[in-house]
Amino acid sequence: MFAVLKTGGKQYKVANGDILRIEKVTGNAGEKVQFNEILMVGGDNLVVGAPNVAGAAVQAEILEQGKGPKVINYVKRRRKHSSQRRKGHRQQITVLRVTDILAKGAEKSGVSIAENGRGFDTTAAPVAPAKKPAAKKPVAKKAATEKKPVAKKAAAEKKPAAKKAAPKKAAAKKAEDK
């Protein structure tokens, strides 16, 4: 029997006993995880999902958490410079051994669910309903306070407008030619 499962944006064809290197799944070595996103289950009769097969699952045991090989990116060669300038990183991976392929009854297995390589689904723990805020007590209105009429400020005493500067006298005419 085989199954095609989807995790970490990739698809894997697996059978019982297969060892897989996949994108990181949260968990420790020795723990069991279950993948519910099964695209196809094969064996004596073939079942193809649209998009997933309902009730199917693949159970696996985590063997190891680690880093994959270094992914190397060579930078374009330029004249009179090193031709192998490299950048890279090491991807987080999980090594699994497939222990069981379930065509039906995956909901009742009791194994932690790993969804899309992001971690475990926590739906097994009961969720407490959100508490409603207590009803606000009506606020007693304050006794009506007498409004004191606002005294209008007397029109500010207007200062007389500043006198304009006297126009400049015409410059003395130059004495006529001597």
pLDDT in tens, 29-40: 999 999 999 999
Inside any domain, residue 12: yes
Model pLDDT, residue 125: 47
pTM across the whole model: 0.56
pLDDT in tens, 66-121: 999 988 877 777 776 666 666 788 999 999 999 999 988 777 777 888 754 444 55
pLDDT in tens, 114-151: 754 444 554 544 455 566 666 666 666 665 566 666 65
Inside any domain, residue 177: no
- Hey, is 133 helix, strand or coil? coil
Inside any domain, residue 93: yes
Model pLDDT, residue 122: 47
Is residue 12's pLDDT more than 90?
A: yes
Q: Where in the sequence is the domain holding 24, given as residue range(s)?
A: 2-75+86-113
**Residue (of 7, 2, 3, 1) closest to 39 by Cα position:** 3
C-alpha dihedral (10, 11, 15, 19), degrees to nearest 10: -10
Inside any domain, residue 133: no
Inside any domain, residue 95: yes
Inside any domain, residue 132: no
CA distance 27 to 47: 30
CA distance 89 to 103: 38
Output 15 or 136, whichever has higher pLDDT. 15
- Please, is 21 exposed, middle or buried when counting C-beta atoms within 10 Å of its C-beta (0-12, 13-18, 19+)? middle
CA distance 53 to 136: 50
Report the number of distinct structural domains present in the chain: 1
Tell me 12's DSSP state: E
Residue reference for tokens 């950048």 = 87
Write down the mean pLDDT value for the chain.
78
CA distance 89 to 42: 37
